[in-house]
Chain A
Amino acid sequence: MTKPSVGGLESPDLSSHDATAHESAPHVPVFAGAAREELDQLLTRYPTKMAALLPALWIVQRERGWVSEDSMAEVSDLLDLTPAYVKGVVTFYTMYHQHPVGKYFIQVCTTSPCGICGAEEVVKSLLRHTGTGDLGLTSRDGKFTVIEVECLGACGFATPVMINEEFIESVTPEKVPGILEDLA
């Protein structure tokens, strides 16, 4: 039996991170096979189905790279919720992508503790070296999206940068090119 993962963390499979997916293609269910088993296991942890919503959305994002309206509808069916309710939850939390993002989704903390240690320079360096141009945009090759985020809970290691599920500490503008090269 598949062991349920914590927030879909156990097997980050980047090859399925599909930045070119379109809503118009027919929806292929996320919760079939192993993912369905995983969800069934998760449901045993909570007294209500609704409580499995955040974990279910994590599985969607792991499998598809983002959370589409079709996926929200699928999840709502499985958990006896309405699609509108699920969308309300998805939009509350910052970590669920409501649109496809780059293969490497880069989050940089710029809250004051990091800010006074030079986080803005790290952001500028990332924007320059990824060729994304501006915050929230995806580079033409579909590889990179860079966003600013609030405190990542690693303030003593300014500036922390998250690339997909990987957490990199003490990033300086000078280290950025090397970090990006390691990804390629």
Chain B
Amino acid sequence: MGFPHPSHRQETPLLTRHFGEAEARTLDGWKKRGGYQALEKVLAMTPGEIVDIVKESGLRGRGGAGFPTGLKWSFMKPGDGKPHYLCCNADESEPGTFKDREVMRWTPHALVEGCAIAAYAIGAETTYIYIRGEFTEPLLRMERAVREAYDAGILGANAMGTGKRIDIYVHRGAGAYICGEETALMESLEGRRGNPRIKPPFPAVSGVFGQPTTINNVETLAAVPEILMKGAAWYKAMSLSNPKSTGTKLYSVCGNIRRPGTYEVVMGFPFKDFLHDVCGGALDGRKLKAVIPGGASVPIQTMEEAEATLMDYEGFAAQGSMLGSGGVIVIDDAQSMVAVIARLTRFFAHESCGQCTQCREGTAWTTKIVERIRDGHGTMEDLDTLVEIGENMTGTTICVLSDSCAVPVISGITKFRSEFESLIHGKRVHSVLTAVA
């Protein structure tokens, strides 16, 4: 089932099918549901065979960038005499995104098993699951699951009696969106400020503690046991659109929508049906106005674009946005787009690590100007200035947080220009998003 609503008949629940079942959280309950069979199966295979299956399945990273997972794993060179690490990115701080939280709350063993399989496939002796500090419940659930797995001999020096060492540790973050960026996460894990690193070198060459490292999102790793149990062909067949986007995807849906929650559909599912049918559509008496479909970092879609979208990596791109993290923010006609965008730029300004000038200055100035427009003190020139600053913030920094701040501003001004102009021309637009006085 989905969460917190029962599964919709149009969903394809794989990772979400045990959400809401408290028993699935325990090792026994998880084993009853087929847990750890995939791990047992793969420990009899060679790492190379596992990587090939994951490559063949077409699984792509669910953390935002959509990089092919099998290919990423193939960059690791087990047996080169160095220590190797796996990092699981459970920092989930992208506004609109809360799917990894549900995976960890309801099916923590799916993630432990996925980590163990990935660790074996890339030759990592040690795995760190880096969980954002605010996720107190997921932290406890994951720590409990890891402990159970150690106590049962699934993890440790002699994992599942194979003589192979698989260690998994849960590591708590301390409040910083930027630590979800992969190299910032590694810095943070090492006990430093979470400043992203210049790439190259890429993590597979020099990652955490300067050693070869693979980093994957929670949802990516949780999908791995399913793929190895049922095969690459089975996973690949789950696509309504094109062979580049395969399997199922979790979407966390929030904002002005009747049934917010986490849903799972196959790649290529029509976004129109998803929004209006699966998620229940607009609240009474309201109309949907815009959607940010992949977390706050992706371009805003008009309803026209959204309703023409097939939900996969290429489908969102073809309709002016990106799949991103799958965090769907729905905005209705009671909201001011300018107020929504102003609050998003404030988010990015708050979360900028401050290393790069374009980002540190750009996020702050962008926020000042958008807020000024929101408050009725803007000028038409401000719109040009915002676009100019945004262009300066794109492709010019160590990581893409800077680009992400420009995205809602530029897509907002392009697609909802009239709302900016009405405010500039002195017409107040109703909004619940006003600053606390």
| Chain A residues within 8 Å of B, Cβ to Cβ | 3, 5-10, 45-48, 50-55, 57-58, 79, 88-89, 92-96, 107, 110-113, 115-118, 120-121, 123-124, 127, 135, 148-158, 162, 165-167
Q: Which of B54-62, B270-278, B339-347 contacts A (4 or more CB under 8 A)?
A: B339-347
Give the Cβ gap from A176 to chain B, nearest Cβ, in Å.
14
Give the residue of A127, A135, A162 whose beta carbon is less than 8 angstroms from that of B134.
A162
Give the Cβ gap from B405 to chain A, nearest Cβ, in Å.
13
Residues on B with C-beta less than 8 A from A151 are 93-96, 177, 296, 347
Q: Are B172 and A58 closer than 8 Å at their CB atoms?
A: yes
Given A57-B174, A151-B93, A153-B134, A115-B191 contact (CB < 8 Å): no
For this complex, 30 residue pairs linking A to B, each with C-beta atoms less than 8 Å apart, are: A3-B147, A6-B131, A9-B143, A47-B209, A51-B191, A52-B191, A58-B174, A94-B176, A96-B174, A107-B134, A112-B329, A112-B433, A113-B254, A113-B329, A115-B339, A116-B256, A123-B436, A135-B436, A149-B175, A150-B177, A151-B93, A153-B134, A155-B97, A156-B98, A156-B254, A156-B261, A157-B98, A162-B134, A167-B136, A167-B137
Q: Are B432 and A116 closer than 8 Å at their CB atoms?
A: yes
Q: Are A6 and B143 closer than 8 Å at their CB atoms?
A: yes
Give the Cβ gap from B326 to chain A, nearest Cβ, in Å.
12
Give the Cβ gap from A3 to chain B, nearest Cβ, in Å.
8
Q: Which of A89, A110, A155, A156 has the most CB of B within 10 A?
A: A156
Instruction: Decide yes or no whether B192 CB sits under 8 A from chain A.
Output: yes
Residues on A with C-beta less than 8 A from B339 are 115
Interface string of B332-372 (1 = CB under 8 A from A): 10010001100110010011010000000000000000000
Instruction: Decide yes or no whether B170 CB sits under 8 A from chain A.
Output: yes
| Chain B residues within 8 Å of A, Cβ to Cβ | 4, 83, 92-98, 100-101, 131-137, 139-140, 142-143, 147, 169-177, 188-194, 209, 252-256, 260-262, 296, 327, 329, 331-332, 335, 339-340, 343-344, 347, 350-351, 353, 432-436
CA distance A121 to B131 in the complex (A): 29
Given A88-B193, A156-B262, A115-B172 contact (CB < 8 Å): no
Residues on B with C-beta less than 8 A from A52 are 191
Residues on A with C-beta less than 8 A from B140 are 6, 9-10
Residues on B with C-beta less than 8 A from A9 are 136, 139-140, 143, 172
Residues on B with C-beta less than 8 A from A46 are 209
Residues on B with C-beta less than 8 A from A158 are 254, 260
CA distance A52 to B209 in the complex (A): 13
Give the Cβ gap from A84 to chain B, nearest Cβ, in Å.
12
Nearest neighbor of A88 in chain B, beta-carbon distance: B193
